[in-house]
Amino acid sequence: MNRNLLPHFLIIGAPKCGTTALHYYLSQHPEINLAPKEIHFFGKDLGYKIQRPSLEEYQSYFKESGLNGDASVWYLYSNSIYKELKSLGIQPKIIVLLRNPIEVSYALHSQNIVDANENITNFEVALNLEETRKKGHKLPPDVDPPRTVFYKQTADFYPRIHKLQKHIPKNDIFIGLQTDLKNNTIDFLTTIETFLGIRHYENYNLQRINENKVVKNQKLHRAIKKPGDFKIKIFRTFVPSKRLRKWLVGKVYDSNLTYTKRKPLTEQTKKELMCFFKKNNQLLGEIIDCDISSWNT
């Protein structure tokens, strides 16, 4: 095994906190080699149904020169990742992005609908199902992984950051806020570059990434995202050209989405979520170097 073809840094979360944008920006840096986002080579305990990449496939994305990186947001929620890293003999630097947990919960629900991981379009109804779903009941069909629909648990960052700090030296952890990445992008990227020990890159393309999407027709969307083996076989029979199939699916998929802002949460829902997160937000504020006091106001 060539340890030079393993990650020097991991962007481990959290979901809906700007990691897609950060991955896009850092992929432009000439000294950085990034694996495809959400490759999820690590985190064997996360319960993914999809086949994980082999070590050989994983290493094929990296180079012996420069810094190798992997951005997979559910790593933050893995308990086994620390042993997995140790077994490979590596101690990569860790980057974490955080955001107001109320916004994360709501944004993750929207993303799950787009990913066909959620069959309840009403956010409040989905929230109320969380404890039931943790017991394995009323989960969306083919959800992968199931924990993606645990909206409050996912956005409760304190337990995960506390565990992270127990396993990784503080000097090897960078914790930043999605709002800073969004509002002060160049300064944020410069700080990341310093953390990683690389020179500043002057030519970042800072276009907006991963804007909110709304599905028009849920049944059509699910048929595209999770068609099942039988429908795939039929489709391939009637459209034998792989290039044509890809073009057709892409056209239908894009036409079934609109790019728009999410509807504002009700004040009642905001209040309930603020009460839920308040204590752990305070605890989190005591162990990180970011000002998150606004999360509780």
Give pLDDT, residue 6: 97
Each residue's pLDDT tens digit, 96-115: 999 999 999 999 999 999 88
Least trusted range by pLDDT, from 87-91, 143-147, 180-184, 247-251: 247-251
Concatenated DSSP letters of 34-99: EPPTT---S-GGG---SPPPPHHHHHTT--SSSEEEEE-GGGGG-SSHHHHHHHTT---EEEEEE-
Each residue's pLDDT tens digit, 8-61: 999 999 999 999 999 999 999 999 999 999 999 999 999 888 888 999 999 999
Place 266 in a pLDDT band, splitting at 50, 70 and 90.
Answer: very high
Burial (CB < 10 A; 0-12, 13-18, 19+), residue 100, is: buried
Question: Tokens 């199939």 label which residue?
Answer: 245
Rounded to whole angstroms, the Cα distance separating 117 from 201 reads 37
Angle between helices 101-114 and 267-287 (to 10 degrees): 110
Place 216 in a pLDDT band, splitting at 50, 70 and 90.
Answer: low
> Where do the domains of the chain lie?
3-211+262-296, 213-259
Each residue's pLDDT tens digit, 82-96: 999 999 999 999 999
Residue 235 has pLDDT above 80, yes or no: no
Compute the C-alpha angle 217/219/225, nearest 5°. Answer: 100
For the residues 268-272, what does the mean pLDDT come to?
Answer: 97
Whole-angstrom Cα Rg for the chain: 20
Q: Are 76 and 145 in contact (CB under 8 A)?
A: no
Stated length of the chain: 297
Residue 275 has pLDDT above 90, yes or no: yes
Residue 213 has pLDDT above 70, yes or no: no
Rounded to whole angstroms, the Cα distance separating 286 from 297 reads 17
Overall CATH class of domain 3-211+262-296: alpha beta
